[in-house]
C-alpha cells in the first residue's frame, strides 16, 4: 500500500516560531522559564506531545488557557512531513520524510512477533563512504536537527496508533538509518534522551541503540553522556579489509575501536555491545574471517559481545553480492561453536528497498562524492568492457 501526501506544504507560518521537538526535557524547562512559566508546565506539555502525540496546543486541556495562547503565538510542534510512505508484504513500513527543500530521509518500522523496531536516520546522506552502503553513494548534505530525529519517531508512532503510552507498537529504536549518528552528536543524543525519558517515549536503555561505524572518541563521549545501547558496524576483523570496506578504519583502526568497546563495557558490566557484520560473497565470509572475528570478540568479557550477521542487501551499481545461504549458516555455526553469541538478521522490507543499506532518501549532495561515485562506476564499466 502506498500513500502519497496530497496537501502541499503549508506556507511557513511557523518560520518565526520555536519548534518544541527541538528540546529535550531540560531544554524545554529552560525555555518555559524564559517565557515566564514554571518548569513543571514544560513537563505537562511534554506528556501531551510524546504520550498523547498531540501537536495542537488547543487540545492540551489541562494547560491553562493563557499559556495555551502564549504557546500558540510563539511555538509549534513540528514533525517532518511525510512525502511518501509504503508498506512491504512482510509488514515493514517505510516513510520518506521531507526535511527542507529537496532533502528527505527514510525511517523504517519492522514489526516482529514480540517487538516493533523503528530504524531512524541521523543525517541527510552520509560522508563516511562505506563501500557496501547505498546511502554512501548519495553523498552528504547536513546533520538533522533534534526535531527531525525525534520527529521520525513521532510520525511513525502517530501512524502506528501509539496512542496510549503503555500499549505501544514501537518497543525498540535503532539509529541505523541514513547517516553516522556520532557525527551529529548533540542533536542525536538529545533526541535519544527523549526516546528514553519517561515524559518522552519512555523506552529502556537496552531498547534504544546507537549504531556507529566506529568514531572512537565519540564512543567515549557517548558513554559519559547517555545511557543507551551500542552497536558497532564492524564488517571485518582485520585492518586491511576493514579499511577497504569502512574507510573510517584508517583513522580509528580495530585495536583502538576495541579499546573504546572495552571502556564502554567496563562502565556497563551487565550490558553487551552488538557487532554488525554484513556478509558479502567472497569478501568477508570465509572461515578465516570467522576465525579472526572470534579472536577479536574474545577481547571482550564473556557475554558482553554479540555478533549480528546481516546478509548483504544489494542496490543498483554495487560491486558486492550477498553470501550464499549455506556460507552464511557455516559462518554463524563457526562463531556459535566458539562460544560467540551470534544472531542472523532476517532481511526485512527488501521489496520496498527498506532493508539495511538500501535507504536512500533524497540528498542534495554537497560533497561531490556522487559525481566521483558515478565516475568510478563508469571507469569500472569501461574496464570490464
Ligand atoms: N553509520 C552508522 C549507522 C548506519 S547503520 C553505522 O555505520 O553503524 C547501517 C547498518 O546497515 C550498518 O551496520 C551496516 O552493516 C548495514 N548496511 C549498510 N549497507 C548494507 C547493505 N548493503 N546490506 C546490508 N547491510 C548493510
Residue position matching grid coordinates 510524546: 50
Residue 153 and residue 281 in one domain: yes
Residue 138 and residue 108 in one domain: yes
The residue out of 76, 104, 132 marking a domain boundary is: 76
- Tell me the pLDDT tens digit for each residue of 253-297: 999 999 999 999 999 999 999 999 999 999 999 999 999 999 999
Q: Which of 37, 106, 148, 180 does the annotation list as catalytic?
A: 106
Domain with 48, as residue range(s), is 3-76
309 lines ligand 1 (CB under 6 A): no
- The answer to whether the CB of 230 falls within 8 A of the CB of 210 is yes
Q: In 202-212, which positions are buried (b, 16+ CB within 10 angstroms) versus exposed (e)?
A: bbeeebbbbbb
Q: Tell me the average pLDDT across 109-137.
A: 93
Residue 67 and residue 129 in one domain: no
116 lines ligand 1 (CB under 6 A): no
The alpha carbon of 278 and the centre of ligand 1 are apart by a number of angstroms equal to 7
The alpha carbon of 58 and the centre of ligand 1 are apart by a number of angstroms equal to 42
Q: In 225-241, which positions are buried (b, 16+ CB within 10 angstroms) versus exposed (e)?
A: ebbbbbbbbbbbbbeeb
Residue 279 and residue 356 in one domain: yes
277 lines ligand 1 (CB under 6 A): no
**378 in active site:** no
The alpha carbon of 249 and the centre of ligand 1 are apart by a number of angstroms equal to 15
Counted domains in the chain: 2
120 lines ligand 1 (CB under 6 A): no
The strands making up 93-100's β-sheet, listed across from edge to edge, are 2-4, 81-87, 93-100, 103-111, 116-119, 172-175, 208-212, 229-233, 273-279, 305-311, 341-344
- Mean pLDDT over the full length of the chain: 90
Q: Which of 119, 130, 133, 356 does the annotation list as catalytic?
A: 356
320 lines ligand 1 (CB under 6 A): no
pTM as predicted: 0.90
**Does a structural domain hold residue 382?**
no
The alpha carbon of 268 and the centre of ligand 1 are apart by a number of angstroms equal to 25
Residue 370 has pLDDT above 50, yes or no: yes
**Does a structural domain hold residue 385?**
no
Residue 11 and residue 99 in one domain: no
- Model confidence at 375, pLDDT cuts 50, 70, 90, reads low
The residue out of 58, 76, 94 marking a domain boundary is: 76
276 lines ligand 1 (CB under 6 A): yes
To test the pocket of ligand 1, the residue of 357, 358, 360, 361 to mutate (highest count of ligand atoms within 8 Å of its CB) is 357
**261 in active site:** no
Residue 67 and residue 149 in one domain: no
Q: What is the CATH number of the domain that holds 238?
A: 3.20.20.70
Residue 7 has pLDDT above 50, yes or no: no
Residue 41 and residue 130 in one domain: no
Residues in CB range of 183: below 8 A, 6 or more apart: 122, 123, 127, 128, 143, 215, 218
What percent of the chain shows pLDDT beyond 70? 89
Residue 357 and residue 271 in one domain: yes
- Model confidence at 357, pLDDT cuts 50, 70, 90, reads low
Q: What is the CATH number of the domain that holds 26?
A: 1.10.150.530
- Tell me the pLDDT tens digit for each residue of 19-78: 999 999 999 999 999 999 999 999 999 999 999 999 999 999 999 999 999 999 999 999
Name the phi and psi angles at 130, rounded to 5.
-60, 130
Residue 93 and residue 189 in one domain: yes
Residue 57 and residue 203 in one domain: no
Amino acid at each position: 500500500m502506498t500513500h502519497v501526501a496530497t496537501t502541499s506544504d503549508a506556507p511557513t507560518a511557523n518560520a518565526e516560531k520555536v519548534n518544541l521537538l527541538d528540546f529535550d526535557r531540560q531544554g524545554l524547562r529552560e525555555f518555559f522559564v524564559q517565557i515566564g512559566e514554571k518548569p513543571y508546565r514544560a513537563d505537562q506539555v511534554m506528556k501531551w506531545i510524546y504520550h498523547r502525540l498531540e501537536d495542537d496546543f488547543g487540545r492540551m486541556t489541562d494547560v491553562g488557557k493563557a499559556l495555551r495562547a502564549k504557546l500558540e503565538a510563539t511555538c509549534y510542534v513540528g514533525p517532518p512531513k511525510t512525502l511518501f510512505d509504503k508498506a512491504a508484504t512482510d509488514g515493514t513500513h517505510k516513510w520518506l520524510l521531507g526535511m527542507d527543500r529537496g532533502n528527505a530521509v527514510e525511517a523504517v518500522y519492522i514489526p516482529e512477533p514480540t517487538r516493533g523496531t523503528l530504524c531512524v536516520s541521523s543525517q541527510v546522506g552520509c560522508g563516511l563512504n562505506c563501500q557496501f552502503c547505498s546511502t554512501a553513494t548519495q553523498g552528504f548534505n547536513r546533520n538533522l536537527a533534534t526535531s527531525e530525529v525525534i520527529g521520525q519517531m513521532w510520525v511513525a508512532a502517530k501512524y502506528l496508533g501509539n496512542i496510549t503510552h503503555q500499549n505501544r507498537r514501537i518497543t525498540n529504536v535503532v539509529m541505523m538509518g541514513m547517516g553516522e549518528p556520532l557525527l551529529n552528536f548533540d542533536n542525536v543524543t538529545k533526541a535519544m534522551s527523549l526516546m528514553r525519558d519517561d515524559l518522552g517515549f519512555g523506552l529502556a536503555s537496552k531498547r534504544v541503540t546507537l549504531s556507529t561505524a566506529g568514531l572512537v572518541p565519540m564512543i567515549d563521549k557517548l558513554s559519559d553522556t547517555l545511557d543507551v545501547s551500542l552497536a558497532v558496524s564492524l564488517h571485518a576483523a582485520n585492518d586491511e579489509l576493514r579499511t577497504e570496506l569502512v574507510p573510517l578504519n584508517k583513522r580509528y583502526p580495530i585495536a583502538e575501536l576495541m579499546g573504546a568497546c572495552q571502556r564502554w563495557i567496563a562502565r556497563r558490566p551487565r550490558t553487551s555491545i552488538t557487532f554488525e557484520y554484513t556478509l558479502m560473497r567472497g569478501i568477508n565470509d570465509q572461515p578465516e574471517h570467522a576465525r579472526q572475528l572470534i579472536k577479536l570478540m574474545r577481547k571482550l568479557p564473556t557475554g558482553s559481545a554479540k555478533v549480528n550477521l546481516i546478509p548483504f542487501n544489494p542496490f543498483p551499481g554495487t560491486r558486492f553480492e550477498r553470501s550464499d545461504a549455506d556460507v552464511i549458516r557455516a559462518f554463524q555455526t563457526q562463531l556459535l561453536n566458539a562460544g560467540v553469541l551470534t544472531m542472523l538478521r532476517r532481511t526485512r522490507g527488501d521489496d520496498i528497498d527498506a532493508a539495511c543499506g538500501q535507504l536512500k532518501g533524497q540528498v542534495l549532495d554537497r560533497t561531490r562524492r556522487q559525481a566521483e561515485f558515478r565516475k568510478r562506476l563508469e571507469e569500472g564499466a569501461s574496464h570490464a568492457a
